[in-house]
Structure 1
Amino acid sequence: MSFEDEWREWHRARESYAGAEYGPAALESTNWLITEPAAVEGVPGLWALTGDGGIRGSELGTSGSIVTLRGGETIRFGRRELRVFDRNGVVALRVFNPRRPQRERFSAIDAYPPRKGWRLRAVFESTPGEHITVTAVDGQRHESAVAGRLRFELDGIPRTLTVTRNAHGDLTAVFADGTNGIETYRFRFLVVEEPADDGSAWIDFNRAYLPPCAFSDQFLCPLPLDENTYTSSIRAGERAVILGR
């Protein structure tokens, strides 16, 4: 499969994921609860924290039934699906609705055409024991372990890309560039291929993708670090969500 065909397959998979019935565009609300039961818009019953990392729903209209959700458990009321969201030990109740207008209007993801020139050589340097402060879009901060830094050149200028590891063990980064707010969303995400044993690596900006908060403002995405913010324009990867009428 050619470079362009591999990219198109990746792009099709991204659009399928983004527009899925319970994909990111369906996130309707993120509800921060307390131990005192309270109503959640759009779903029956009263909802509260259990105190041990779970969420309990009561007064659900069927003989006073009670449900408890933990971890990856979900429950549906009509078309809406409820999930537990855990942010560094603090949990919230998320409501996904396939009939959310932004999900129903989702049409595609605009992206730059793939170019081999945006697959850049880099050198990976591991940084054991180092931590950074990550700030989310709502201003909340938390400490995260740094996996390492990739050194590369952008427009002939030496740059670094700080990466962490996600829950799957992949090297990931959040970055911003000169296209943001004009041609692309305000920042983008990137998964980096695992470096070779000698530290040689590739950064493929063609695979830069929109963060979940581009599809719903109820996501709490991390913002890019200062060192991952570039004045140069990276015209590669996903640009913006396209909504139909």
Structure 2
Amino acid sequence: MSSPTTATDAQHARWERFRAGRHSALATEHGWLTLTSFQWLESQPSRMELVPGLWSTDGTTAFLTASAADGLTVVETGQVVEGTIKATLQDEESLMWVQYGGDDGKQVVVELAMRADKYALRTRDNGSPVLTGFTGVPTYEYSPDWVIQGRFEAYAEPVDVPIGTANPLVDGVHRSVGEVVFRVPGVAHEVRLHAEAEKLGALNVTFHDESNGETTDEWRKVFIPRPRPDGSVIIDFNRAINYPSAFTPYGTCPMPVRGNSLDVRVEAGEKLPQE
């Protein structure tokens, strides 16, 4: 990269507000920092680690059998689970289903999830040391050199691209709506990265770079505001963030599309979380 550019006070203040919001979002109750297990359901009613009751699936529906003494209640209604309850999800859907533990009976939420067309449980424990010990995500210093102008080249129709995820037993699909094209200062060739659609016309780009596994996680993502009418976009890599799988081994986060890589060190945005 060329000689560093000095950030203005306004740029730095906007970035500080972004970082504060990011930390608040991560540190929410029953959020990504509270995951303590990921377990597949079996066809026979079985006990699961960390969770009361007997759990099973017939392939299309999940079942939970428990007694009042197990202390489980339904998250949505607060009703005590006594007997058998059931739920049905579509692939990639999740349900914060039941809760238990703590003084209020709500310390742990059990999330029912359908991944790779199979049912799984994830426990979300507000007592997790990942949450209680959280002091923020390390980042690079803000650098205006990593605020890059580019363009978005939309596809005529979205293209579904098979991808891997943070869980080797779960495959994923990236719905590419086009490519973000830009140049990194000091690098001769253009970079092309597949993008997914977000709300209000924004884009989401998941990428590898040469810093991965050293100062940053194995991959990160950056959100890009809605392209202008001429297709131009601003990619602010200072806002590159980690997926939940950087903080927990129980995520099923999507990996980048093959080739969504920058052959430079993107020394901007979030670094590896502290142990």
Matched position secondary structure for 2:173: strand
Aligned to 2:112: 84
Matched position secondary structure for 1:58: strand
Deviation string for 1:164-222 (max 9, x for gaps)?
A: 12588642121111111111112111111111121111111111001101111100122
Aligned to 1:94: 122
Q: 1:44 to 1:148 in 2, by over 3 A?
A: same
User: Which letter does structure 2 place at the counterpart of 1:146?
Assistant: S
2:206/2:260 contact within 8 Å kept:
yes
Aligned to 2:151: 123
**For 1:144 and 1:241, how far apart are their aligned partners in 2?**
25
Equivalent in 95, 109, 133 of residue 72 of structure 1: 95
Aligned to 1:40: 48
Equivalent in 137, 146, 158 of residue 190 of structure 2: 158
Deviation at 1:60, TM superposition (A): 3.2
2:202/2:227 contact within 8 Å kept:
no
Q: 1:187 to 1:5 in 2, by over 3 A?
A: same
RMSD: 2.3
2:201/2:226 contact within 8 Å kept:
no
What TM-score, normalized by structure 1, do the two folds share?
Answer: 0.89
User: Which letter does structure 1 place at the counterpart of 2:119?
Assistant: V
Equivalent in 10, 30, 39 of residue 31 of structure 1: 39
Deviation at 1:16, TM superposition (A): 1.7
State the 4+ residue runs in structure 1 displaced beyond 6 angstroms.
none
User: Is the aligned partner of 1:196 residue 2:228?
Assistant: yes
**For 1:171 and 1:32, how far apart are their aligned partners in 2?**
32
Deviation at 1:91, TM superposition (A): 3.0
Deviation at 1:131, TM superposition (A): 2.6
Give percent identity, aligned residues only: 24
Larger Rg, first or second structure (1 or 2) = 2
User: Which letter does structure 2 place at the counterpart of 1:233?
Assistant: R
**For 2:131 and 2:232, how far apart are their aligned partners in 1?**
40
Deviation at 1:162, TM superposition (A): 0.8
Q: 1:230 to 1:161 in 2, by over 3 A?
A: same
**Structure 1 unaligned residues grouped into runs of 5+:** none
Matched position secondary structure for 1:138: coil
**Count, aligned residues:** 242
What TM-score, normalized by structure 2, do the two folds share?
Answer: 0.80
**For 2:211 and 2:40, how far apart are their aligned partners in 1?**
34
User: Is the aligned partner of 1:18 residue 2:10?
Assistant: no
Aligned to 2:74: none
**For 1:23 and 1:91, how far apart are their aligned partners in 2?**
20
**Structure 2 unaligned residues grouped into runs of 5+:** 1-8, 70-80, 89-93, 102-106
Equivalent in 56, 59, 62 of residue 63 of structure 2: 56
Matched position secondary structure for 2:273: strand
Deviation at 1:77, TM superposition (A): 0.9
Q: 1:225 to 1:16 in 2, by over 3 A?
A: same
1:35/1:49 contact within 8 Å kept:
yes
User: Which letter does structure 2 place at the counterpart of 1:55?
Assistant: A
User: Which letter does structure 1 place at the counterpart of 2:225?
Assistant: E
2:158/2:178 contact within 8 Å kept:
no
User: Is the aligned partner of 1:4 residue 2:27?
Assistant: no
1:106/1:241 contact within 8 Å kept:
no
